[in-house]
Amino acid sequence: MKTAEEEKRHAEIWRQLRSTTELHAASWQRLQAWRARLPHALLLSGARGLGKQDLARAFAASLLCESLQINGSACGECAACHWFEQGNHPDFRMLTKEVSMKAMDKEKSVKAGVSTDKDEKEEKSNRSGQEIIIDRVRELDEFFAVGSHRQKSRIILIYPAESLNAAAANAILKVLEEPPANTLFLLVSNEPMRLLPTLRSRCQNLAVPLPDAREAAAFLGASGLNEAATWLALAGGAPGLAIQLAAKTTDWAAPLTDALQRGDRLEVIATAANLEKALKAVKGENPLPMFMDWTQKWLVDLNLAVQHLPIRFYLAQRAKIEALAQKSQPVKLTRFYRQLLQLRRESEHPLNLRLFLEQFFFRYRALFVES
């Protein structure tokens, strides 16, 4: 028996997968068309945060499901779906940037000083979780050694595929040269041009487009996101990214938007102090690159407004942006945009956050001041 909590989680997982296939209905139909004659490798590519990984997971689940629904979706209730949900279906493997248990054990032995330096480079990159390393591909050997457990396909989902390092990508290429029977590699990539061209050419390609904005907003609303249209616009139309933005952007978002819309009335010193505090309160990764993304989007909107074009991101602040646009000039905006790109690079490792913010806001305010 499942507890109420488990039941809720179970329902939510399958609801999420099903609504992703509805949101990307055209892509889902193309995937279904491949079902009759499954290729050895499929590459789903498209902008970050579209829901490609969920789409791939929904497809994998539908291939494993033992009681397929009429629209091609997994049932969510059979034994295979149950294992899939628990992450232990014997015919499914997932390769991601996460550090594997094996690698963690190795890391422990590195700390204990019993490591050889042979794989030291890989260990190092793996510790930061930035790459999918060859060890993960080697772990698939035993997966291939035995036949499919449930007389269906074996599936390996790789996400994001561009983080396969060279050795790992070559190892997969090798497998694809003599592909094991009934085995599907499902590669998911935000940046397919970073994949080995030889690997890319071995895959059937599915480019997943941006979903319709209204449907995406409804999808987000159903997932429990407030102000879905606003977040969706800020995410450039990618629903998964909208959820991430909403989750990661907390205390500094409102003061930043407030400061930006003040234009020439911006109080630089006080604003910088205020935002420094909010940014420093963020736990985990450095929030400054995201902060800079937000300001870059604001500038894109301002630039559009200067040209009397509809803005794209800050829909809720449209009137303010249009008013600011009247005080600025295209030549100043272009110059500032270049400075912004420079600041964007510095934001990865700012030496002094307060100075960085002051410098940024002084330059921003100058956009609206007669000179």
Residues that bind Zn ion (CB under 5 A): 65, 67, 74-75, 78, 81
Comparing CB distances to Zn ion, the nearer of 81 and 279 is 81
Shortest separation between residue 146's beta carbon and Zn ion, angstroms? 22
Comparing CB distances to Zn ion, the nearer of 92 and 314 is 92
Q: Judging by beta carbons within 10 Å of its beta carbon (0-12, 13-18, 19+), is residue 150 exposed, middle or buried?
A: middle
Shortest separation between residue 368's beta carbon and Zn ion, angstroms? 59
Shortest separation between residue 7's beta carbon and Zn ion, angstroms? 17
Distance separating alpha carbons of residues 145 and 200, to the nearest angstrom: 25
Comparing CB distances to Zn ion, the nearer of 48 and 152 is 152
Comparing CB distances to Zn ion, the nearer of 80 and 299 is 80
Tell me 208's DSSP state. P
Distance separating alpha carbons of residues 48 and 293, to the nearest angstrom: 14
Angle at 50 (CA atoms; ends 49, 53), nearest 5 degrees: 85
Q: What is the biggest distance separating any 2 CA atoms in the chain, rounded to whole angstroms?
A: 74
Of 97, 162, 166, the closest CA to residue 132 belongs to 97
Of 206, 211, 185, the closest CA to residue 63 belongs to 185
Give the β-pairing of 154-158 and 204-207: unpaired
Shortest separation between residue 73's beta carbon and Zn ion, angstroms? 9
Comparing CB distances to Zn ion, the nearer of 13 and 78 is 78
